[in-house]
Amino acid sequence: MDTIERDLTATRREVAVVFKKGVLPRVNAYLREVAPRGVEVTVLVANGPGWRKAEKVDGRAEVLSIGRRENRQPGVWIYMMVVERAPRAVLKRLEHRLPGKAGRAAGRARGIHRKAAAKIRKYVFWPVYRPLRPQALRRIAGRRVEALGLDRVDRVCIVDEGAVPFGWMLANRYPDLEVTRLLDKSRHEDLPVTGPTAAPEVRAPYTRI
């Protein structure tokens, strides 16, 4: 009886691993269900290239980010700097500094570059990088596992297929840890709703690890 009571009253802690922005609505729907019941969820995100317009994680979750680490990989950094950032910065400076027609021409060139860079990212960068990304993120996240506090976590949810290699690494490294692909809100239906049912309007910034 004492063991059952302790299990029912103990704080439940989970980690959700999100390497693809497309699953964020599903993660937020899960958080809307479990956060008011006192379940503490840490979300590990790889908010690297392509996440600028991604949906934000529900503010009741702690969010840890390896996005900066991903962007610092040599291949990603070189692409972003040579194809996108450096030309954009130069054209923007020329647009504001050159007078008359020259400035307007730089502005038009800036618009052309923006469209061209978007096509290069979609049709060149992502087809090359996408198959390599899961293993790259496995290595990056694997070197920062201690930040997840897995000794205090009940289970880890691998939400998208891009995070599966990292999930396999966790399962092999921590055989007693539950690693699953499921966000199962029914596990927590026995807990009463004790917290606010709406996410805070002001979200804390993601913590870089």
Q: Write the class of the CATH domain 2-71+145-208.
A: alpha beta
Sheet arrangement for strand 178-180 = 178-180, 155-158, 13-18, 40-45, 62-65, 207-208
38-66 tens-digit pLDDT: 999 999 999 998 898 899 999 999 999 99
Other CB atoms within 10 Å distance of the CB of residue 190: 8
Determine the Cα–Cα distance for residues 119 and 128; give it in Å rounded to an integer: 14
Q: What is the pTM of this model?
A: 0.88
Ranges of each domain in the chain: 2-71+145-208, 74-129
Quote the pLDDT of residue 209: 96
Quote the pLDDT of residue 3: 40
User: Average pLDDT, stretch 135-153?
Assistant: 96
11-45 tens-digit pLDDT: 999 999 999 999 999 999 999 999 999 999 999 99
Determine the Cα–Cα distance for residues 169 and 65; give it in Å rounded to an integer: 18
Determine the Cα–Cα distance for residues 35 and 204; give it in Å rounded to an integer: 16
72-83 tens-digit pLDDT: 999 999 999 999
Q: How confident is the model at residue 1 (pLDDT cuts 50, 70, 90)?
A: very low
80-119 tens-digit pLDDT: 999 999 999 999 999 999 999 999 999 999 999 999 999 9
Closest CA to 22 of 50, 41, 44, 64: 50
> Angle at the Cα of 163 (from 157 to 165), degrees rounded to 5?
110
184-203 tens-digit pLDDT: 999 999 999 998 888 888 78
Query: Residue 5 above 60 pLDDT?
Result: no
Tell me the CA distances in angstroms from 133 to 15, 136, 151, 187, 194, one per residue in order.
21, 5, 27, 32, 39
Determine the Cα–Cα distance for residues 89 and 85; give it in Å rounded to an integer: 6
Q: How confident is the model at residue 128 (pLDDT cuts 50, 70, 90)?
A: very high
